[in-house]
């Protein structure tokens, strides 16, 4: 179906860049607009990777939680088992439901991290997953480097 989400985001960026950016160039609003367009461009190229990422993270996090049940207090272990057993898997194409499941699993993982021994295998596996998760996260915005402000009374550096 046309236009795709990516095409709509790209079209929005083009309008902002052609119609709005010249009107606010050189102002703080222009800097904000530039950052917003950059964010929209990132979404344009990365949004399709979000759902596969969430499925991978949910599956891995659920496995880690189940593996950690023997390393946590009984009440938390029971919450983990209940959550993993009682929840029907969300509709695999419902991004909102898959994201909600991810939030629920990550909240449990946070509780686990708070109580398990940092010397345990479960802790090491969780840390490895969190590192892999960070590296795989698809919506990665790269901030602009701040520009040095000219000293008062001096002309701005045109190369900035």
In a domain, 128, yes or no: yes
DSSP-derived secondary structure letter, 19: I
User: Does one domain contain both 100 and 40?
Assistant: no
In a domain, 156, yes or no: no
- Number of domains the chain contains: 2
User: Does one domain contain both 42 and 121?
Assistant: no
Q: Which domain holds residue 101?
A: 49-136
Give the C-alpha separation, 105 to 65, whole Å. Answer: 8
User: Does one domain contain both 62 and 42?
Assistant: no
Query: What pLDDT does residue 146 have?
Result: 60
Averaged pLDDT in 10-residue chunks for the chain of 160 residues: 93 96 96 95 94 97 96 96 82 93 96 95 96 94 63 52
User: Does one domain contain both 62 and 97?
Assistant: yes
Neighbours of 72 (CB within 10 A): 22
Query: What pLDDT does residue 141 have?
Result: 76
Query: What pLDDT does residue 153 have?
Result: 56
User: Does one domain contain both 129 and 58?
Assistant: yes
Give the C-alpha separation, 67 to 77, whole Å. Answer: 10
Query: What pLDDT does residue 159 have?
Result: 45
User: Does one domain contain both 13 and 61?
Assistant: no
Give the C-alpha separation, 23 to 30, whole Å. Answer: 8
Query: What pLDDT does residue 148 have?
Result: 60
């Amino acid at each position: 179906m046309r236009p795709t989400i990516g095409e709509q985001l790209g079209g929005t960026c083009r309008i902002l860049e052609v119609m709005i950016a010249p009107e606010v160039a050189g102002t703080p609003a222009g800097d904000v607009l530039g950052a917003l367009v950059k964010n929209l461009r990132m979404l344009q190229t990365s949004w399709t990777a979000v759902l596969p990422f969430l499925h991978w993270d949910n599956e891995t996090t659920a496995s880690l939680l189940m593996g950690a049940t023997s390393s946590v207090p009984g009440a938390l272990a029971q919450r983990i088992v209940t959550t993993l057993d009682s929840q029907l898997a969300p509709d695999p194409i419902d991004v909102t439901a898959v994201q909600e499941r991810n939030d629920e699993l990550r909240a449990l993982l946070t509780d686990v991290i708070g109580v398990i021994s940092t010397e345990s295998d479960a802790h090491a596996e969780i840390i490895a997953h969190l590192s892999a998760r960070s590296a795989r996260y698809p919506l990665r915005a790269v901030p602009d480097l701040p520009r040095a402000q000219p000293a008062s009374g001096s002309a701005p550096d045109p190369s900035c």
